[in-house]
Amino acid sequence: MKATRIRIRTVGTLFLASWAASVAASEATIEIVAAGRMTPLLRELAARYQESHPAVTIDVRSGDAAAGFSAMCAGKAEIVGLTNPAAKEELRKVRFSMQKSLQGFPIAADAVVLVVHPKNPVSSLTYDQIRGVFTDRTTMWKELGATMDPVPDHNHKPDCVLVHPREAFIKCHTPTDEAGLLSVLALQVLGAKGLTYGRQRHNTPGGVVSAVEADQLAIGVTCFSAAGNAKVLPISESADGQPVVPTPETIRSRNYPLTHYLYLYFAGQPTGAAREFLAYVLGPEGQQIVHEHAISVLPPAPTAPQD
């Protein structure tokens, strides 16, 4: 009888140990640093994922690329979310610190767009015209061939003086650099010239759109997913090129020239809970959430890496 009790205890102990190991294996915490517009998107993805995976905790905190990769190298972040490809120095930093190659996975596409007031007569812009506007070489709407109607100058309240069409100066609006849009514009259009210092800066792409919708003399840089009711201008790379209207289709196909991807970065190939989260993001449910944020999904969605 005594031997039987010992055996029962042994079997029970083994069962409890196995159960505890199984619970520990299913529980996980994923630390993510997200830059700019990736923060709200990844927080929504994380919240939805945790609803069906209660044992997984996903912490998404905001930070730029430098902060994200510093956290990754310090073992405080498994994933870094960026609105642009990682810089070469970040690739080298991870390789040197962690002896691993940085792996980036595009989870969505978006685009830099130029927006104006709905009553603005400009129909499209070329790369050279964009360079002129945002480097102070072009300062008046008439230089872009636009005949502006007289508009109220609300800077002179309460008289609200009318601005004559010939005096219609261009008012530039951009988001802060954190949004990741200005680096795309600089890389693909402006080059080393840099942006005008006279532009008005806004904390979000949506703030740019609100300012443009309220001012007939304004032009703004924003993202396709935040364009709202502003007039979005077709873009051509040259004067003799065909202007392309940004739409989900032209962005997905990359026919629209200022398309860019949103990325999740890992040190080496993702494994464990991080890999499963990536598979969710790239799967049908995750891509539907991406679509709910009005960011063009990638068709077809890339397959998550296999162990």
**Residues whose CB is less than 8 angstroms from the CB of residue 301 and which lie 6 or more positions away in sequence, other chains included:** 282, 283, 284, 287
Model pLDDT for residues 269-299, shown as the tens digit of each residue: 999 999 999 999 999 999 989 987 756 565 5
Model pLDDT for residues 60-108, shown as the tens digit of each residue: 999 999 999 999 999 999 999 998 889 899 999 999 999 999 999 999 9
Positive/negative CA dihedral, 131, 89, 42, 278? positive
Using DSSP's 3-state secondary structure scheme, residue 137 falls into coil
Identify the CA nearest to 218 among candidates 132, 111, 119: 119
Scanning the chain, the segments in alpha helix (DSSP H) are: 2-26, 38-52, 65-73, 88-98, 127-134, 181-185, 205-213, 248-252, 272-282, 284-292
Assign 306 a pLDDT band (cuts: 50, 70, 90): very low
Domains and CATH numbers, the chain: 27-109+261-292 (3.40.190.10), 111-259 (3.40.190.10)
Q: What is the pLDDT of residue 252?
A: 85
Identify the CA nearest to 129 among candidates 117, 118, 141: 141
Q: What is the pLDDT of residue 225?
A: 87
Mean pLDDT (the chain, rounded): 84
* Residue 4: CA count within 13 A, CB half-sphere: 1
Locate 36 and state its tokens. Answer: 């700019």
Model pLDDT for residues 171-227, shown as the tens digit of each residue: 999 998 777 788 889 888 988 667 766 789 998 899 999 999 999 999 999 999 899
Full DSSP string of 14-37: HHHHHHHHHHHHH-EEEEEEE-TT
Model pLDDT for residues 115-149, shown as the tens digit of each residue: 999 999 999 999 999 999 998 889 999 999 887 76
Assign 150 a pLDDT band (cuts: 50, 70, 90): low
